[in-house]
Amino acid sequence: MELEFYGAAGRVTGSCHILKVNGRRILLDCGLIQGLPEEEALNAEPFPFEPSEVDAVVLSHGHIDHSGRLPLLVSRGFSGPIHTHPATRDLALVLLQDSARLNERDTRYRNRLRARKQLSPLDPLYTVEDVVDTINLMQGLRYGEKKEILPGTAIRFMDAGHILGSAMVELWLTENGRTTKLVFSGDVGQYGSPILYDPAEIGEADLVVVESTYGDRLHKDRDLTLVELAAIIEAARAGKGNILIPAFSIGRSQELLYLFGKYHEEWGLGDWQIFLDSPMAIEASRIYWQYPELYDEEATRLRRMAHEMPKPENLHFTREVEASKKINDIEQGAIIIAGNGMCNGGRIIYHLRHNLERPECHVVITGFQAVGTMGREIVEGAETVRIRGDDFRVRAGIHTLGGLSAHGDRDDLLRWIGGFSTRPHVYVVHGEAAVKDSFARTIREETGLETTVPAPGDIVHL
Ligand SMILES: [Zn+2]
């Protein structure tokens, strides 16, 4: 029995680990590497195994950095089952189709440049057809149900509280009459976040593989975040402006709609028009509303009272481009949630062109902004930004809300690890190098558990 760390061990994105049990091969996640172009080029490299020789995949959740290389695995020969939560299968269809379309568009653009240099055209990483083949291999497994997926390998999903359908994976691996219990954290959510349950406590494990995205820092207080959001709405009302929220389609957008529904009266949202201006976020919201059994106590109670998922009354879904453009006629009283979250593309760009130079308007940043994105420039206080070739002065109010992350912070991760009744060996993955080292140290100091930060290609014999 062995576990090989392949993807996320060496970097933040591209989660993938390889298990060998009883001569069978199981992948835990198969994520896309995201980042600089030279890093993303690694996605097209061969897998360090023959895809047709993989017996099964276990997928923790739908985010592209965990699922995004699956269509490539399938197009290169994998034809086994992909075990995942039914909600993850629904979200993965939306996310992977989007990923395929972006990739096909990007490849067409690069091929035009290559043609000018008389270079041969490239193939996209995968196509929408590959995505359909991938979804067809997915087998749904609900939280709390134990299932033998291969001889000697049983799994059970527990709620990770990160996005809808996100799972921590318990694995019971039996070889030569000896059973080892491995727990793979996937991505761990924040305790106390709206809509979803807190990360589940798991009693026993011999080994734990844990993510460490925010393993070295604490999020801003959630209650304070709500106070800030209310104050921004008040300021925009007084100044007679609009509010723009560049949003991530899965999770953050649904959380915002939920909060706007919950605090509708309190924040005086009756006078506002709220727009969800992103076809992908609209699709993801629809999926969130189809799984009320996954809501925590508060969301269940609010849903019962309203007979539907709490969301603001004056909410408009704008799927068509024309409807999106019409929003720009509104000078005041609009809250516009549009992708993408880092302002490096998507419809938010056009709303920024119309509102960024107006001091009475406000831009609310709700998530991590990567280096090189316009979102990062704005957050770092740029005086002007260039949007589609034109310069715009940043005169709108810029606010960063820290309390809405889908990821647990250092204390959330520690709390989850502290929930084990056994003394597992902890392998720290899925974080920037310095963060992983720092979080492994924190675990040792706070819990006394043994920790390892594996390098890519490291193999642990179980
Ligand atoms: Zn995730």
Q: How far apart are the first and last CA of the chain?
A: 5
Predicted structure pTM score: 0.93
Give me ligand 1 centre to Cα 290, in Å: 20
Give me ligand 1 centre to Cα 104, in Å: 24
Q: Give tens-digit pLDDT for 266-303.
A: 999 999 999 999 999 999 999 999 999 999 999 999 88
Give me ligand 1 centre to Cα 115, in Å: 37
The 3-state secondary structure of the chain, one letter per residue: CEEEECCCCCCCCCCCEEEEECCEEEEECCCCCCCCHHHHHHHHCCCCCCHHHCCEEECCCCCHHHHCCHHHHHHCCCCCCEEECHHHHHHHHHHHHHHHHHHHHHHHHHHHHHHHCCCCCCCCCCCHHHHHHHHHCEEECCECCEEEEECCEEEEEEECCCCCCCEEEEEEEEECCEEEEEEECCCCCCCCCCCECCCCCCCCCCEEEEECCCCCCCCCCHHHHHHHHHHHHHHHHHHCCCEEEECCCCCHHHHHHHHHHHCCCCCCHHHCEEEEECHHHHHHHHHHHCCHHHECHHHHHHHHHHCCCCCCCCEEECCCHHHHHHHHHCCCCEEEEECCCCCCCCCHHHHHHHHCCCCCCEEEECCCCCCCCHHHHHHCCCCEEEECCEEEECCCEEEECCCCCCCCCHHHHHHHHCCCCCCCEEEEECCCHHHHHHHHHHHHHHHCCCEECCCCCCEEEC
pLDDT confidence of residue 118: 95
β-strands 384-387, 273-277: how paired? Answer: unpaired
Distance CA 269, CA 230 (A): 10
Give me ligand 1 centre to Cα 37, in Å: 21
Residue 161: how many other CB atoms lie within 10 Å: 26
Give me ligand 1 centre to Cα 86, in Å: 16
Distance CA 54, CA 68 (A): 17
Give me ligand 1 centre to Cα 250, in Å: 10
Give me ligand 1 centre to Cα 159, in Å: 13
Across the chain, which has 462 residues, the per-10-residue mean pLDDT values are 80 84 96 82 90 98 95 98 98 96 92 95 95 98 98 97 98 96 97 95 97 92 93 97 94 92 92 94 94 94 77 87 96 95 90 97 89 90 95 97 88 97 96 92 97 93 92
Give me ligand 1 centre to Cα 64, in Å: 8
Give me ligand 1 centre to Cα 162, in Å: 7
β-strands 82-84, 2-5: how paired? Answer: unpaired
pLDDT confidence of residue 39: 82
Give me ligand 1 centre to Cα 187, in Å: 5
Give me ligand 1 centre to Cα 94, in Å: 15
Give me ligand 1 centre to Cα 63, in Å: 5
Give me ligand 1 centre to Cα 175, in Å: 31
62 and 88 in contact (C-beta within 8 Å)?
Answer: yes
Question: For residue 435, which amino acid is it?
Answer: V
Residues with CB under 5 A from ligand 1 (ion): 63, 187
398 and 277 in contact (C-beta within 8 Å)?
Answer: no
Q: Per residue in 82-106, is it b (16+ CB within 10 Å) or e — as a string?
A: bbbbbbbbbbbbbbbbbbbeebbee
Give me ligand 1 centre to Cα 69, in Å: 14
Distance CA 214, CA 216 (A): 6
pLDDT confidence of residue 35: 74
Give me ligand 1 centre to Cα 61, in Å: 7
Give me ligand 1 centre to Cα 318, in Å: 26
Look up residue 457 and give its two tokens: 């290609």
Give me ligand 1 centre to Cα 216, in Å: 17
Give me ligand 1 centre to Cα 361, in Å: 31
Look up residue 170 and give its two tokens: 């318990």
Give me ligand 1 centre to Cα 72, in Å: 19
CA distances for 26 relative to 2, 3, 291, 455, angstroms: 11, 10, 28, 19
